[in-house]
Structure 1
């Protein structure tokens, strides 16, 4: 769910694209095991990041977001909440779920299937990432600057 237009900050035009006045937000509740939420979340994030960052940065953000959303829906068997905040300093994406178990960064088996690679991607492509516990559950987050690190 996007923030209503009246609640969003104004955008100033100039240079390469738009200059974002802080912050712009994306907030979306993700239904339990509803994997249709993954492409919908990517589409909404793509809209939020239109004209943001150097080439390839928004695509990295989409990939990492889909990994966090997929992990929350597949490995927790509960609802989750996606929040993305775009500010002049960069992008922060957070997926909160209601299971306290922390995600594991596993070394994927090169001869195996593709499972277990999501957190390796987050660890290698994000400028920063982490896990923050909550009273019930946790948030897994990553940050990306507009410029390549």
Structure 2
């Protein structure tokens, strides 16, 4: 029996209807971005979302880079598949809000992370809590 793309995405959710979820703790070390890209690539391919691999990998690379460069804490990557939406979240132990740098250009060597996330994602934001913050970005998933 041949399944449509929508059927395959629906099967990515748990039997009780909750979203599919991948979570991984990462240390703020060299190589963390590579590990995060591998995790998000594997999740996208498992959920039959090959079109999401490149933007999702770029987003998690930038999220990890921000933690490594600014927060310097252990981080938790969370990838959640909702119907029509892939949510990429990075939790860290810093309560300092992310601030996109002004005046960055396409050729700027550093400081473009949040601007890239904003350009690639459908939406992005952050939440503060007592233990730190979560920066998230969403990708619209269309059939």
Quote the offset at 1:128 in angstroms.
0.9
Aligned residues: 134
TM-score by length of 2: 0.82
RMSD over aligned CA atoms reads 2.4
Aligned residue number for residue 95 of structure 2: 100
Corresponding residue number in structure 1 for 2:22:
26
Which deviates further from its counterpart, 38-47 or 108-117? 108-117
Contact 1:107 1:120 in 2 (8 A): no
Is 1:134 the counterpart of 2:124? The answer is: no
Aligned pairs for 1:60-139 within 5 A:
60-110=55-105, 113-139=108-134
Q: Which runs of 5+ in 1 are unaligned?
A: 1-11
User: Which one is further off, 82-91 or 106-115?
Assistant: 106-115
Unpaired runs of at least 5, structure 2: 14-18
The structure with the greater share of residues assigned to helix is 2
SS of 1:144's partner is: strand
* 1:42–1:108 CA distance, 2 compared to 1 (3 A): farther
Q: 1:72 to 1:111 in 2, by over 3 A?
A: closer
Instruction: Say if 2:42 is the partner of 1:52.
Output: no
| TM score, norm. by length of structure 1 | 0.79
For 2:89 and 2:49, locate their aligned partners in 1 and report how far apart those are by CA, in whole Å.
Answer: 18
